[in-house]
Amino acid sequence: MLLPPKLGEIGTCYGSPLARHNSAQFIISLGYFNLLSILGIEENVFLNWKTTLAKLFTYRNGMAIEYPATHAERPIGHLFKLNPDNWINPCTSFAYSQGEPKGRSRATERGKQIFCPLLVDANGDKVPCRVSHSTCQGCKVCPYADCEALRNPHEAATREALQVPAQRVLFAKTLTLYRSYCAHGCLGPSSPSEFLAASLDDTESAWLARLQEMRRGHNCKVTCDGRLIFDHDTAGQAFTEYLEALFDNDLEVIAKFETAALANGYGPLATCTYVANHVSNRVTCPYEHRTVDGSLDLAKLVSLPCDTSFQCFEPLEEYRAACPQMLVVCRNAHSHPIPLPIKTPPAIRREVFDLLSTIEQDLADITPRRFLRHPVTRAYLNDRLPTIQNPCLADLHISLANRDHIKTYISQVQRNCFPFGTGWKDMAQYIRYTAETPLNGLPVYDEDDPDHSDPSDTAMMLRIIICMSPESSRRLAAAQYLQSDIAFKRVSGFLEFKIGGLDRNANMAVPYCRVFLNRQSAAAHTLVFKEIERIVLMDTGMSLKWRHLHASSLDDHTGILQWAGDQHAGQAKGLGLHLQSLAEKLPGKFDLHEPCRPLASLTEYEHLLQIFRLCQVHVERNIDASSVPETVKRKMRSLICMTHPDFEGTLRTIANEGGKKGADWVQDKIRCKFALPGICWEKSFIPKIIWQVADSTTNTLETLHADVNLEGKFCSLCSLLGGVKKVLARQKNLACKDDRITTANKRLKSTHDGVLEANKQLLAARNQPQGQVHEERYCQQVARAEKRKVAAEATYTKALASSTGAKGTGTGRVALLLPSDVADGMHRRS
């Protein structure tokens, strides 16, 4: 007999799509399901001479359930309609862990084919099938729980019964914080401390042993062993009274809080209700409990077995098209608490895989956080779940709220898309320009710092990747004030050397090029500057101009006027060597500051005198970090100046009064050869007006580094090309929108002028003296003027609509022209 389904009779289902609230097509997370997902319920359905189903639930195509209903005495059947082209066993969607005893029959049993009376084709004929079975593995519980109560059988389940009160969560977090402080101490880096932590008592030692077991063989990070200090806030109060009582071992206050928590059903004195799925890696209960002697304990979880079995009848593969159905028979009630829905159903998992495959270049460095807020993800979810406002992945299935699950899926797709990884080998297939040079063929200089390289890189090669668009080449060719800096965190195993500056016309920071390299020696930087010159020449048809090389006089401010950087010796010497190589190509040119000297005779550091300036912020930061008296620090800062009354004498004073640290600081600046001229104008050959106008810091470039680091740090090299392509495409798109705004502004102004002219002509036609014009001609002129006015107003209306549609687009550097009343109205609506 076919009966309509009853609410709550089956348990939690999900379908396509899902929702948080009401919907006519799918099951929501509150624990009841929609009637439309069930085709019907039959009672007392014959299966074979041994089995008659108490109830048979028939589901629509594509539906799956997490908690299939069962019965303590009689079997319950669940008949699923499936897609023959995408056959997914519905048992894989169950929240219950399945395992031994389990098995699967052959296609025949005792030489005969196996049939199920519920699996028939369109003609009603039975189709051969295969039978498999598995057993529910139960779950894990805390030994401080009431195990007998937890063994109470359940035949149906919902997610609503899994919710935890917020007060209990807060109480548990407080205990966890206390235990973390006691056992872990300070989590800062390991460093010597004069206040060593007290030795652990037997309880803490036992807890650490339990913690080591939870790590499953992984070694813990070495951290600071200093003693923690418990203090109050500025008002003299503890942030949490219970936490203070735990640290002070105030038994009376502790008992007050824990007794109150016990009255509400939680806390260390209460019976534990924590449940973990059988497949969970968790070793101990996350909640602490009081033992008989009053100490806190994190108990090891114990397993609760279950006798519920799942028997599956599945058509043989060649008969699935004729009978796209599968029957699951559940027997016996579950003798354990309701498990958590942590398993992502295969259909939903496939959707996530397909979605990740569409992200393309972002896939190399995608993280769960980035994936959740990626535009492709948001667009897909809005289309997939139209009834939900601002849907998220957890609306597809609650298990996707676990970012570790998402991270696992990301790793699987990355392995398929990047079989060679996301490093050098993979990028060599995609990037347009790379340079790989043996290190033994490069010169070595005293100024070189120890190599910053990937420890896994044993090839001993200098690797360089230069990212630079033709537009960037044109900007660099027109730039006069440059800054350079090198970052260590952007790409794993590589340094990011960046050249940029301030676009004074647009008043915005602009990166001219990004270079990724695995060494920061002077020879490496020389190769970088040489290649950049080549790229600029190829893109613009002209080489870069440098003031001290190409200007005709000291007043001729041609080309690059100043280069600001930090005190990295390899970077500065590399720039000097590059300028030296350019000067060798100008044999007839003489130095503007020393007219008797040919430019080709200048050393690399003499070239830096003409152009290089040290970042003031870097210098002052190093001064602040120096272990010298404040009076000496003030003398150090006084050297950052235009002119100094006693520059050399101040250096001697710093060396004498600053002790060894002060003397080392002076020697470092002298040995550097470009540092002192880089902080004092009178020591350099940079023209005074340029020194005064140019940047004294590299803050512009630092902001670019900080901005790009927000996208992610220690990214894979594979994201390099994708990031550059995206930036260039975005810049091109924004530039195109700026052009549209400019065109819209011109059109709006032109049409506005046309309306004014049409009104003027209409007014003139109407004001003609009637005695001087024939009445018929007068009417014709007025009619034509009115017609022109209507046409002009229509054209203006279209132009205005085009302009208002451009609001919020472009780079923001091109102002949008709108009438004041329209702009005010749009502002009020926004």
Q: Is the peptide bond before 101 cis (omega within 30 degrees of 0)?
A: yes
> What's the rounded Cα separation, in Å, for the pair 267 and 277?
22
Residues 596 and 453 in one domain: yes
Position 322 in a domain? yes
Residues 491 and 514 in one domain: yes
User: Is 610 strand, coil or helix?
Assistant: helix
Taking alpha carbons only, the member of 626, 568, 699, 660 closest to residue 635 is: 626
What is the pLDDT at residue 201? 58
Position 56 in a domain? yes
Residues 498 and 528 in one domain: yes
* Sole residue written with tokens 């039978």: 131
Taking alpha carbons only, the member of 106, 99, 31 closest to residue 65 is: 31
Read off the pLDDT of residues 735-772 as tens digits, 9 standing for 90 and up. Answer: 667 788 888 888 888 888 988 898 888 888 888 775 55
- Phi (first) and psi of residue 457, to 5 degrees: -85, 105
Strand ordering across the sheet containing 612-614: 435-438, 461-467, 508-517, 494-503, 481-491, 562-565, 612-614
199, two tokens:
């030795």
Between the ranges 47-61, 146-160, 570-584, where is the mean pLDDT highest? Answer: 570-584
Residues 94 and 186 in one domain: no
> What's the rounded Cα separation, in Å, for the pair 737 and 732?
9
Residues 593 and 449 in one domain: yes
pLDDT bracket for residue 604 (50, 70, 90): very high
**pTM to 2 decimal places:** 0.46
> What's the rounded Cα separation, in Å, for the pair 276 and 760?
83
285-294, 726-735, 736-745, 792-801 — which is least confidently predicted? Answer: 726-735
pLDDT bracket for residue 602 (50, 70, 90): very high
What is the pLDDT at residue 772? 55
Which residue type, as a one-letter code, is found at position 782? V
Read off the pLDDT of each residue in 561-582 and give the average, rounded to a whole number.
91
Contact 324, 81 (CB under 8 A): yes
Position 150 in a domain? yes
Position 370 in a domain? yes
Residue % of the chain over a pLDDT of 70: 76
Residues 134 and 168 in one domain: no
Q: Is the peptide bond before 189 cis (omega within 30 degrees of 0)?
A: no
**369 — alpha (psi -120 to 50), left (phi > 0) or beta?**
alpha
pLDDT bracket for residue 821 (50, 70, 90): confident
Contact 691, 610 (CB under 8 A): no
Contact 37, 27 (CB under 8 A): yes
Last residue of a domain, one of 371, 387, 417: 417
What is the pLDDT at residue 35? 46
Mean pLDDT for all residues in the chain: 79
**For residues 11 and 78, which has the higher predicted lDDT (pLDDT)?**
78
Position 35 in a domain? yes
279-293, 473-487, 670-684 — which is least confidently predicted? Answer: 279-293
Residues 173 and 211 in one domain: yes
**62 — alpha (psi -120 to 50), left (phi > 0) or beta?**
left
Spatial CB neighbours of 291, under 8 Å, sequence gap ≥ 6: 297
Cα–Cα distance list, 247 to 228, 356, 683, 688 (Å): 11, 48, 61, 64
Last residue of a domain, one of 686, 720, 754: 720
**For residues 65 and 428, which has the higher predicted lDDT (pLDDT)?**
65
Residues 223 and 278 in one domain: yes
Read off the pLDDT of residues 614-637 as tens digits, 9 standing for 90 and up. Answer: 999 999 999 998 889 999 999 999
Residues 634 and 757 in one domain: no
Residues 364 and 396 in one domain: yes
Read off the pLDDT of residues 470-529 as tens digits, 9 standing for 90 and up. Answer: 888 888 999 999 999 887 767 777 888 889 988 776 677 788 888 888 888 889 999 999
**For residues 781 and 32, which has the higher predicted lDDT (pLDDT)?**
781
What is the pLDDT at residue 419? 65
Read off the pLDDT of residues 410-427 as tens digits, 9 standing for 90 and up. Answer: 888 887 776 656 665 555
Contact 278, 303 (CB under 8 A): yes
Position 732 in a domain? no
Beta-strand (E) ranges in 237-383? 275-277, 289-290, 296-297, 302-304, 309-315, 325-331
Handedness of CA 682, 687, 689, 690 (dihedral sign): negative
Read off the pLDDT of residues 647-668 as tens digits, 9 standing for 90 and up. Answer: 999 999 999 998 999 999 999 9
Residues 289 and 317 in one domain: no
Q: How many domains does the chain have?
A: 5
Position 729 in a domain? no
Taking alpha carbons only, the member of 530, 538, 499 closest to residue 515 is: 499
* Sole residue written with tokens 């735990």: 246
Strand partners, 513: 499
Task: Print the SS3 string covering 288-327.
Answer: CEECCCCCEECCECEEECCCCEEEEEEECHHHCCCCCEEE
Domain region containing 400: 347-417
Read off the pLDDT of each residue in 395-411 and give the average, rounded to a whole number.
85
Contact 128, 319 (CB under 8 A): yes
pLDDT bracket for residue 12 (50, 70, 90): very low
Position 105 in a domain? yes
Residues 82 and 229 in one domain: no
pLDDT at 21 over 50: no
Last residue of a domain, one of 366, 384, 417: 417
